[in-house]
Chain A
């Protein structure tokens, strides 16, 4: 690793989202929700969202505590999926996951999420970046149990 990898990981957009996360708080009258937990570092994220009859995500908010990567990733997630059909959100996660694990991917559709590409140089931190996404998946599937990063296979 060189210094560039570190500044790539903690680039300005990420730091800014960490300091001022978007859509932070508790969404009133949410019709889907889930809690995510990373037992390795204790990060927790609660995600609440509304899905309308056309299967579109109309509102989404999160709260929780975690490292800069997990908070920034959750914040970016809420920005990215708001107003999108559920199927598209699933597709985004798949592409995002490929980006983080260093597989080649067409980044055009990922938009701002590409700022997290630097995570792939830090395998131990991939789970931080995907915690919010695993939580989103659980919320979409109406899985009431807390999702854990340790049941996935991020590495």
Chain B
């Protein structure tokens, strides 16, 4: 590891300066301004150590995995599997065979919907999601419900953007076979009380999938303590390479599920009469995998854990608090004011459309998301076509947030 930061529970301004130096992209300029990257919920930037790991793989040991006896292939296989071990540790899974590498959170959810849900769901069964979900935790369930005749139910949210737990509980019954809930809302930042939601779902015999795409970069996760049945997250949002994701599944469930895709590497034996599949996780990893992605993800998780997730959490909350106060001072219309929030600030500015604001902010080098955040039902609930979303990472600073508000002030002036 080429970083030398402390892992005490709070970052000092000097720590943040050192951390920023680990991310080469933070030195670039956009439109003659330093890049102010506040779109971390969309994708995160990569530290030099992750970039170096990708380069090292291609320069020093590029080879396919699990199928050759020569040295560089053995090295690549070991690095790929070391990543699986790292991920298992990161999630506190009980074993490596509970960690499946996939393309991303979206593919993980589709895999569970098709391999777990499709063979089991029947007409009369129910799948329960919440009104906060990202499209990727809605559409796969709609598809499997169409295929099986099961019914999709939606637990509503309140005006703060929180799931109404009593309504969620009321929606659960012995008909509920699968519950799929986002750990943290990408559109609003709401942190759902998933431990409680999982326990309640289990009480009626449902299996629970947690969409952790927004949570994994910000908060420690312990899948055994949570007792969730599936947990999914994406590498690119947690400072790792794009195109890779993780599906955690309880061993017994993964063993009982048919493969999601067929191909090489996922078989024990193939004949035209019958194919014997590998055991999990390999049963779900057909074809050549995103080898360098997994290698990079391990380095990203090492980096993150070296900084310390507690310190990251504290600092990001500090940024959120600072930005939220400024947003109130500037009379922004904050969308989503849950009691427990991750470092995401979704808002609208007067009656100015989010895309106009986004274009003007870009002019000052500021990158925020402007749009519906792949959560159209959330936008409809709050009667807005789109919002602006500033999402903060541990490499952001209060002075960058000041830049955002100064640019918003100028935007207002233009639209006066």
Size class of the A contact interface (CB-based, 8 Å):
20 to 34
Known: A15-B415, A65-B385. A9 touches B359 (CB 8 A): yes
User: CB within 8 Å of B: which of A56-84?
Assistant: 65-69
Chain A residues, Cβ within 8 Å of B353: 41, 43, 65-68
Interface centre among B352, B363, B371 (most CB of A within 10 A): B363
User: CB within 8 Å of A: which of B349-381?
Assistant: 352-356, 359-360, 363, 370-372, 376, 379
Closest partner residue, chain B, to A40 (CB atom) = B371
A70 to chain B, nearest CB (A): 8
Bound together, the chains give a CA A67 to CA B349 distance in angstroms of 12
Partner of B355, one of A3, A15, A41: A41
Bound together, the chains give a CA A41 to CA B355 distance in angstroms of 7
Partner of B354, one of A1, A3, A41, A44: A41
Chain B residues, Cβ within 8 Å of A124: 359
Q: Are B379 and A68 in contact (CB under 8 A)?
A: no
Chain B residues, Cβ within 8 Å of A122: 359
Bound together, the chains give a CA A41 to CA B379 distance in angstroms of 11
Partner of A41, one of B31, B352, B385, B414: B385
Q: Are B356 and A42 in contact (CB under 8 A)?
A: no
| A34 contacts the other chain (CB 8 A) | no
A154 to chain B, nearest CB (A): 15
Q: Is the interface of A mostly helix, strand, loop or mixed?
A: mixed
| B216 contacts the other chain (CB 8 A) | no
Q: Are A41 and B356 in contact (CB under 8 A)?
A: no
A2 to chain B, nearest CB (A): 8
Interface centre among B353, B370, B371 (most CB of A within 10 A): B353
Bound together, the chains give a CA A67 to CA B372 distance in angstroms of 13
Partner of B356, one of A3, A65, A67: A67
Bound together, the chains give a CA A42 to CA B355 distance in angstroms of 10
Q: Are B359 and A66 in contact (CB under 8 A)?
A: no
| A90 contacts the other chain (CB 8 A) | no
| A6 contacts the other chain (CB 8 A) | yes
| A10 contacts the other chain (CB 8 A) | yes
Known: A66-B353, A68-B353, A128-B355. A41 touches B363 (CB 8 A): no
Chain A residues, Cβ within 8 Å of B360: 6, 10
Q: Are B363 and A1 in contact (CB under 8 A)?
A: yes
Q: Are A42 and B359 in contact (CB under 8 A)?
A: no
B347 to chain A, nearest CB (A): 16
| A22 contacts the other chain (CB 8 A) | no
Q: Are B370 and A41 in contact (CB under 8 A)?
A: yes
Bound together, the chains give a CA A67 to CA B358 distance in angstroms of 11
| A125 contacts the other chain (CB 8 A) | yes
Given contacts A68-B353, A68-B356, 15 further A-B pairs with CB under 8 A are A6-B359, A6-B363, A10-B414, A15-B414, A15-B415, A41-B355, A41-B370, A41-B385, A42-B371, A42-B372, A65-B385, A66-B353, A66-B385, A67-B355, A124-B359
Q: Name 12 interchain pairs, CB-CB below 8 A, sorted by A.
A: A10-B360, A10-B414, A15-B414, A41-B371, A41-B372, A42-B371, A43-B385, A65-B385, A66-B385, A67-B354, A125-B355, A125-B359
Closest 5 CB pairs of A and B: A67-B353, A42-B385, A67-B355, A67-B356, A68-B356
